[in-house]
Copies of this chain bind each other. A is one copy, B any other.
Amino acid sequence: MPRISLKGLELPQSAIRKLVPFADAAKERGVHVYHLNIGQPDIETPAGALEALSVKAHEMAEHKGVLEYSHSAGMPTYRRALCNYYHRHGIDVTPNQVIVTNGGSEALQMAFTVCLNPGDEIIIPEPYYTNYNTFAKLCDAKIVTIPSDIKTGFALPPIEEFEKVITPYTRAIMICNPNNPTGYLYTHEELLKVAGLVKKYDLYLFADEVYREFCYDGNKHFSVMQLEGLERNTILFDSVSKRYSACGARVGCMVTRNSEVYAIAMRLAQARLSPPSFGQFFGEAAVDTPQEYFDAVQAEYVARRNVVVEGVNKIPGCFCPMPKGAFYTVIDLPIDDSDRFCQWLLTDFQYNGSTVMLAPATGFYVNPERGRHQARITYCLCIEDLKAAMKCLEEALKVYPGRLPVRKSAAKKAATAATAPKAAPAKKAPAKKKAAKKA
């Protein structure tokens, strides 16, 4: 047969999905799996927007309508509606600064293609969203990471750490805010520091802000589009997926005030003709989703987060920081190997007929070793299920063969001693024994 391309062979496999066959097997054995591994919200999609799409499709059916290509940049009416949405969030952009995309993923792919040469480097605080790897690989760009620390809740690493890794190949800094996988919400001050660096070295600033609506405890989201003097540097990736619990709509956008980047991205947009029309009809109506919807969603996520944070922190040897946004958190676990543990949960463990599925944090680090004792938890389950899942996790850690001796977690100590900025890094205890069985 003809051979596969070299790039194809090097494409990373999805770190999050590799455990799926084990979960499927567990379910086949009758074990209930609490999915704490995927960012698929269970919150209802706004009924008003669904109904608007329903009416639109019905009218087209009634009146012999044609489902046409939309403008390659997205329907003008939808782009205007999006600009109204952004305006309400303190972001002033115009419809010709917005390209509607096939989900946020396509926005990323477009920007990477337009901005990055082979060998160019993107600096990203880690842990980071694993799918960025594929889009970087597609343009042979290199992701360079700065570790953020669980002890500070994964706050922005000191700006000096960024400067240490800047080279002539550095082309962009990328942040996800609120953060997937950590749930960290960057402060205005932190973003100003990033802005200073971006200006100093004339870099692109890529920002994934798809969790903008999910900010807790009275904290306000600050967008990179509100940073002054970075009009030609900043590219925003956005999506309706999480905002309206509408991941299947596949409607995102790329926003930039840099007209050259926009013009070149439009060549890509035109080559693939247009973004999905049904999703745009939905998205346009969803812009009018009432604030009560978001208030209720936010209250629900705060309650869920609290269940997770309390549930994890009461387990000996575990530590969960207090995330201020999104619906993820990365936790420390007293285990030999998070890949092995997460697989073992699915293959060898159950408690009252149930188990939990976590995402090993190894996939969120350039060097998997850094995530060897961590896992990402998504709180997209109802409170009752989350409580049951926390109980499952607690029981699992009592019997997991690769469990490490419980000490008070260094991270937990550091986090509780708020005045200890120079806390010693958490030491990795050596792996005790290899216990995973084959599925």
Contacts of A279 in B (CB 8 A): 276, 278-279
Other-chain contact of A102, B5, B102, B120 (Cβ < 8 Å)? B102
- Give CA–CA (A61, B56) in the complex, Å: 14
Contacts of A40 in B (CB 8 A): 68-69
Give 21 pairs: A residue, B residue, CB < 8 Å, sorted on A: A2-B171, A2-B233, A4-B115, A5-B115, A5-B116, A7-B139, A8-B267, A11-B264, A11-B268, A42-B66, A44-B64, A53-B57, A54-B61, A67-B246, A70-B248, A102-B106, A102-B250, A113-B138, A131-B273, A247-B274, A250-B273
B203 touches A67 (CB 8 A): no
A250 touches B267 (CB 8 A): no
Of residues 255 through 290 on chain A, the ones whose CB sits less than 8 Å from some CB of chain B are: 258, 260-261, 264, 267-268, 270-279, 282
- Give CA–CA (A249, B68) in the complex, Å: 8
Q: How far is the CB of A203 from chain B (nearest CB, A)?
A: 6
Top 7 closest pairs, chain A to chain B, by CB:
A248-B277, A278-B278, A134-B271, A1-B232, A50-B61, A54-B57, A44-B64
Q: How does the 8 Å CB contact mask read for A238-249 relative to B, with 1 for contact and 0 for none? A: 000100011111
Which of A113, A267, A274 counts the most chain B CB atoms within 10 A?
A: A267
Which of A42, A248, A272 counts the most chain B CB atoms within 10 A?
A: A248
Q: How does the 8 Å CB contact mask read for A42-69 relative to B, with 1 for contact and 0 for none? A: 1111011011011111101110111111
- Give CA–CA (A171, B426) in the complex, Å: 52
**A204 in contact (CB, < 8 A):** yes
Other-chain contact of A250, B17, B65, B109, B276 (Cβ < 8 Å)? B276
A260 touches B115 (CB 8 A): no
A67 touches B117 (CB 8 A): no
**A179 in contact (CB, < 8 A):** no
A249 touches B267 (CB 8 A): no
- Give CA–CA (A120, B131) in the complex, Å: 27
**A307 in contact (CB, < 8 A):** no
**A9 in contact (CB, < 8 A):** yes
**A14 in contact (CB, < 8 A):** yes
**A41 in contact (CB, < 8 A):** yes
- Give CA–CA (A222, B304) in the complex, Å: 56
Contacts of A7 in B (CB 8 A): 113, 117, 139
Contacts of A68 in B (CB 8 A): 40, 247-248
B271 touches A250 (CB 8 A): no
- Give CA–CA (A277, B248) in the complex, Å: 5
Of residues 87 through 144 on chain A, the ones whose CB sits less than 8 Å from some CB of chain B are: 102-103, 105-106, 109, 113-117, 120, 131, 134-135, 138-139
- Seen from chain A, the residues whose Cβ lies within 8 Å of a Cβ on chain B are 1-2, 4-9, 11-14, 17, 40-45, 47-48, 50-51, 53-58, 60-62, 64-70, 102-103, 105-106, 109, 113-117, 120, 131, 134-135, 138-139, 171-172, 202-204, 232-233, 241, 245-250, 258, 260-261, 264, 267-268, 270-279, 282
B247 touches A69 (CB 8 A): yes
Contacts of A6 in B (CB 8 A): 117
Contacts of A55 in B (CB 8 A): 54
Contacts of A47 in B (CB 8 A): 61-62, 64
Contacts of A5 in B (CB 8 A): 113-117, 120, 139
Given known A67-B247, A247-B274, contact A267–B14 (CB-CB < 8 A) = yes
Q: How far is the CB of A414 from chain B (nearest CB, A)?
A: 35
A250 touches B275 (CB 8 A): yes
B247 touches A273 (CB 8 A): yes
A272 touches B103 (CB 8 A): yes
- Give CA–CA (A54, B250) in the complex, Å: 18
B50 touches A17 (CB 8 A): no
- Give CA–CA (A42, B279) in the complex, Å: 21
Given known A7-B139, A8-B113, A267-B11, contact A105–B272 (CB-CB < 8 A) = yes
